A and B are shown apart, each in its own frame.
Chain A
Amino acid sequence: MKRRTLQVIIGGMTFIIILTVIVLISLNRFMDRQTLTDVQRIAGTYLEGVASGEINNYIVVADIRYSQLNYLSDELDALGENASGDEIERIAAEYARLQELPSFAFVDEDGVIHTVHGGEIMSLGNHESLVEKMKAKEPIVMTGKSSEQDLIVWAAPASYPLKNGKKAIGMLYCRELDQFVKNMHLSEVETLARFLLVRKDGSYVFRTEESVGDTYYDKLLRYTKPVDGTAEEKVADLKEHIDADEAWSMEVIYEDPDRGIKERRSVRVDVLPNSNWYLVSLLPYGVLDETIEGMSAARNKGMMIALSVLCAGILIVVGIYMRMTRGQIRALEKARRAADDANKAKSEFLSNMSHDIRTPMNAIIGMTAIASDHLDDTDRVKDCLKKINLSGKHLLGLINDVLDMSKIESGKMTLNLDVISLRQTMEVMCDIVRPQIKVNKQQFDIIIKNIISEKVYCDDVRLNQVLLNFLSNAMKFTPEGGQIHVNLWQEPSDKGDAYVKTHLIVKDNGMGMSEEFQKKLFRSFEREDNKRVHKTQGTGLGLTITKYIVEAMGGTIEVDSKAGVGTSFHVIIDFERAPEDEGEMVLPDWRILVVDDNEEVCQSAELSLRELGARPDTCRSGEEAVSMVLKAHEEGDDYYALLIDYLMEGMNGVQTAQKINEVLDENIPISLISAYDWSDIEEKAIASGITGFIPKPLFKSTLYHELKKSMCEEIDGGVEVTAGSDKFSLNGMHILLPEDNDINAEIATMILEENGATVERAEDGQMAVDMFKDSEVGYYDAILMDLRMPNLNGFEATDRIRAMEREDAKKIPIIALTADAFSEDANKCIEHGMNTHLAKPIDIDLLLRTLERLVEK
Chain B
Amino acid sequence: MNVKEFYEAIGANYQDVIARLMKDELILRFLNKYKDDVNYDNLEKNVAAGDYKEAFLSVHTLKGLALNLGLSKLGAATGELTEYLRAEGNDPEKVEELMVPIRECHKEVTENLAKLS
Query: Which residues of A pack against B, CB within 8 Å?
Result: 740-744, 746-747, 750-751, 754, 786, 788, 790, 817-820, 823-824, 839-844
Structural contact, A743 and B20, CB atoms closer than 8 A: no
Most buried by B among A754, A788, A819, A820: A819
Contact A820 B63, CB 8 Å, known A841-B20, A844-B20: yes
B84 to chain A, nearest CB (A): 12
Query: Told that A741-B39, A747-B69, A840-B67 touch, could you supply 8 new A-B pairs with CB distance under 8 A?
Result: A741-B37, A746-B33, A754-B22, A790-B57, A819-B79, A820-B60, A840-B63, A840-B64
Q: Does B14 contact A (CB under 8 A)?
A: no
Q: Which residues of the partner chain B approach A754 to less than 8 Å between Cβ atoms? A: 22
Q: Does B18 contact A (CB under 8 A)?
A: no
Contact A742 B33, CB 8 Å, known A751-B20, A820-B83: yes
Q: Which residues of the partner chain B approach A823 to less than 8 Å between Cβ atoms? A: 83, 86
B68 to chain A, nearest CB (A): 5
A820, closest chain B residue (CB): B82
Give Cα A788–Cα B65 distance, bound, in whole angstroms: 12
Give Cα A741–Cα B30 distance, bound, in whole angstroms: 12
Query: Which residues of B pack against A, CB within 8 Å?
Result: 20-22, 26, 30, 33-34, 37, 39, 57, 60-61, 63-65, 67-70, 75, 79, 82-83, 86
- Residue of B30, B34, B65, B68 touching A842 (CB-CB under 8 A): B68
B60, closest chain A residue (CB): A788
B73 to chain A, nearest CB (A): 14
Give Cα A744–Cα B30 distance, bound, in whole angstroms: 9
Structural contact, B20 and A842, CB atoms closer than 8 A: yes
Give Cα A746–Cα B21 distance, bound, in whole angstroms: 11
Structural contact, B68 and A744, CB atoms closer than 8 A: yes
A739, closest chain B residue (CB): B64
Contact A743 B79, CB 8 Å, known A788-B60, A841-B20: no
Q: Which residues of the partner chain B approach A741 to less than 8 Å between Cβ atoms? A: 37, 39, 61, 64-65
B64 to chain A, nearest CB (A): 4
- Residue of A740, A820, A840, A844 touching B68 (CB-CB under 8 A): A840
B56, closest chain A residue (CB): A788
Closest 10 pairs (CB-CB, A-B)? A819-B64, A819-B63, A841-B67, A841-B68, A840-B64, A840-B67, A788-B60, A743-B33, A747-B68, A741-B61
Q: Which residues of the partner chain B approach A746 to less than 8 Å between Cβ atoms? A: 30, 33
B63, closest chain A residue (CB): A819
Give Cα A751–Cα B18 distance, bound, in whole angstroms: 12
B30, closest chain A residue (CB): A743
Give Cα A840–Cα B72 distance, bound, in whole angstroms: 11
Structural contact, A744 and B65, CB atoms closer than 8 A: yes
Give Cα A819–Cα B67 distance, bound, in whole angstroms: 8
Structural contact, B33 and A843, CB atoms closer than 8 A: no
Structural contact, B30 and A843, CB atoms closer than 8 A: no
Q: Which residues of the partner chain A approach B30 to less than 8 Å between Cβ atoms? A: 743, 746-747
Structural contact, B67 and A740, CB atoms closer than 8 A: no
A755 to chain B, nearest CB (A): 11
Q: Which residues of the partner chain A approach B63 to less than 8 Å between Cβ atoms? A: 819-820, 840
Structural contact, A743 and B65, CB atoms closer than 8 A: yes
Structural contact, B65 and A843, CB atoms closer than 8 A: no
Contact A740 B86, CB 8 Å, known A746-B30, A754-B22, A841-B20: no
Q: Which residues of the partner chain B approach A742 to less than 8 Å between Cβ atoms? A: 33, 37
A143 to chain B, nearest CB (A): 154
B2 to chain A, nearest CB (A): 20
Structural contact, A820 and B61, CB atoms closer than 8 A: no
Q: Which residues of the partner chain A approach B79 to less than 8 Å between Cβ atoms? A: 819-820
Contact A843 B20, CB 8 Å, known A743-B37, A788-B60, A788-B61: yes
Give Cα A817–Cα B68 distance, bound, in whole angstroms: 11
Give Cα A823–Cα B86 distance, bound, in whole angstroms: 10
Give Cα A161–Cα B43 distance, bound, in whole angstroms: 202
Give Cα A577–Cα B75 distance, bound, in whole angstroms: 46
18 of the cross-chain contacts (CB-CB < 8 Å) are A741-B37, A741-B61, A743-B34, A743-B37, A743-B68, A744-B68, A746-B33, A751-B20, A786-B64, A819-B64, A819-B75, A820-B60, A823-B83, A840-B64, A840-B67, A840-B68, A841-B20, A841-B69
A821 to chain B, nearest CB (A): 10
Q: Which residues of the partner chain A approach B82 to less than 8 Å between Cβ atoms? A: 819-820
A793 to chain B, nearest CB (A): 9
Give Cα A818–Cα B64 distance, bound, in whole angstroms: 7
Q: Which residues of the partner chain B approach A839 to less than 8 Å between Cβ atoms? A: 67
B78, closest chain A residue (CB): A819
B25 to chain A, nearest CB (A): 11
Give Cα A823–Cα B70 distance, bound, in whole angstroms: 20
Give Cα A840–Cα B67 distance, bound, in whole angstroms: 6
Give Cα A740–Cα B83 distance, bound, in whole angstroms: 20
A387 to chain B, nearest CB (A): 28
Q: Which residues of the partner chain B approach A842 to less than 8 Å between Cβ atoms? A: 20, 68
Give Cα A750–Cα B61 distance, bound, in whole angstroms: 19
A239 to chain B, nearest CB (A): 141
Give Cα A190–Cα B57 distance, bound, in whole angstroms: 165
Give Cα A824–Cα B30 distance, bound, in whole angstroms: 29
Q: Which residues of the partner chain B approach A841 to less than 8 Å between Cβ atoms? A: 20, 67-70
Q: Which residues of the partner chain A approach B70 to less than 8 Å between Cβ atoms? A: 841
Q: Which residues of the partner chain A approach B64 to less than 8 Å between Cβ atoms? A: 741, 744, 786, 788, 817-819, 840
Q: Which residues of the partner chain B approach A744 to less than 8 Å between Cβ atoms? A: 61, 64-65, 68
Structural contact, A747 and B21, CB atoms closer than 8 A: yes
B37, closest chain A residue (CB): A743
Contact A788 B57, CB 8 Å, known A819-B67, A823-B83: yes
Give Cα A820–Cα B67 distance, bound, in whole angstroms: 10
B81 to chain A, nearest CB (A): 12
A748, closest chain B residue (CB): B68
Structural contact, A819 and B60, CB atoms closer than 8 A: yes
B19 to chain A, nearest CB (A): 9
A827 to chain B, nearest CB (A): 13
Most buried by B among A740, A743, A754, A790: A743
Give Cα A844–Cα B19 distance, bound, in whole angstroms: 9
Q: Which residues of the partner chain A approach B57 to less than 8 Å between Cβ atoms? A: 788, 790
Give Cα A671–Cα B70 distance, bound, in whole angstroms: 37
A750, closest chain B residue (CB): B26
B58, closest chain A residue (CB): A788
Q: Which residues of the partner chain B approach A786 to less than 8 Å between Cβ atoms? A: 64
Give Cα A747–Cα B66 distance, bound, in whole angstroms: 12
Q: Which residues of the partner chain B approach A743 to less than 8 Å between Cβ atoms? A: 30, 33-34, 37, 65, 68-69
A743, closest chain B residue (CB): B33
B88 to chain A, nearest CB (A): 14
Give Cα A742–Cα B20 distance, bound, in whole angstroms: 18
A522 to chain B, nearest CB (A): 45
Most buried by B among A741, A742, A823, A842: A741
A570 to chain B, nearest CB (A): 43
Most buried by B among A742, A818, A824: A742
B47 to chain A, nearest CB (A): 17
Give Cα A786–Cα B67 distance, bound, in whole angstroms: 14
B42 to chain A, nearest CB (A): 11
Give Cα A820–Cα B86 distance, bound, in whole angstroms: 11
Q: Which residues of the partner chain A approach B37 to less than 8 Å between Cβ atoms? A: 741-743
Give Cα A843–Cα B20 distance, bound, in whole angstroms: 7
Give Cα A818–Cα B68 distance, bound, in whole angstroms: 11
Q: Which residues of the partner chain A approach B20 to less than 8 Å between Cβ atoms? A: 751, 841-844
B70, closest chain A residue (CB): A841
B111 to chain A, nearest CB (A): 19
B57, closest chain A residue (CB): A788
Give Cα A299–Cα B116 distance, bound, in whole angstroms: 115
Give Cα A818–Cα B67 distance, bound, in whole angstroms: 10
Q: Which residues of the partner chain B approach A747 to less than 8 Å between Cβ atoms? A: 21, 30, 68-69
